[in-house]
Amino acid sequence: MEERDSSVRPGRRPDAVTFRPAVAMRRRRRDETGGQEVVELAALADGSIAPERRAALEARVASSPELAERLAEQRHAVALAQSAAVDVEAPAALRARISAQRQVRPARVSRRLVLVPAAAAAALAIVIAVVSGVLGSGASGTRFHAALAATSLAPRAGGDATLTKTTSGWQIQLDATGLPRLDSGRFYEAWLKNAGGTLVPVGTFNEGRKVTLWAGVSPIDFPTLTVTRERADGNQASSGEKVLVGRVDTG
């Protein structure tokens, strides 16, 4: 009895040829083409596409509802990221690094992957970097508040402060109104004071809106926050001209 080749399926000719590698190759080429198409749409959305490629791609988008829809998604991503980054300024070194990274684009991208365009990615990176710089300085979560009242030297003044513990010290966000700007060697100075009357300077400023101060002592031990008018006269002691006074609510 003749022995059959077990590697040949029943009903299939032994000399049949399979074309699976060719099919896989065509599929891979389609995926690469689709990935490049997404990259170009991202570049068109954020304005970084090469001038010689713009006209041809815009013509293809105009004739393809699918491409037009993808381009709209990319532009929407750019708009969202840019709106999130309004009024945010990043350090020069960070902006330079992001600009350099914009020149690098992936060679292969899945057709189903929705890319955030380079400008959107840069804007998001700036937002993340700035927020990290503000909140990532070691904030522990311990936070106190202080309401500041006016004195007779500035009867229309008022303000409040938020004191947040970080690894560097206590960050004090002061927002005061009704204080006229001081210049020409005159300025305001903020202080923390303990029960024994010891004053610790925590920073100087010219205007009271959105001021960031720093303290190396805890408001638990130095719970009184004051603001005085000062003059650059070589005397580092407080002038005693208090314009705002408040007590830190430490619970």
> Which is more confidently placed, 24 or 180?
180
pLDDT at 95: 63
pLDDT at 91: 58
Mean pLDDT of 34-57: 80
Contact 127, 53 (CB under 8 A): no
pLDDT in tens, 71-117: 888 887 777 766 655 445 555 666 666 666 655 554 444 444 444 45
Distance between CA atoms of 95 and 66, rounded to whole angstroms? 34
pLDDT at 161 over 80: yes
Structure tokens at 248: 């830190």
Name the helix (H) or strand (E) containing 83: helix 65-84
Structure tokens at 175: 């927002």
Closest among 117, 101, 120 to 109, alpha carbons compared:
117
Q: What is the mean pLDDT of the chain?
A: 77
All domains in the chain, ordered by first residue: 20-135 (no CATH), 143-249 (2.60.40.200)
Q: What is the pTM of this model?
A: 0.47
Contact 223, 250 (CB under 8 A): yes
Whose structure tokens read 């105009």? 62
pLDDT in tens, 115-130: 445 555 555 555 555 4
Distance between CA atoms of 239 and 192, rounded to whole angstroms? 14
pLDDT at 83: 62
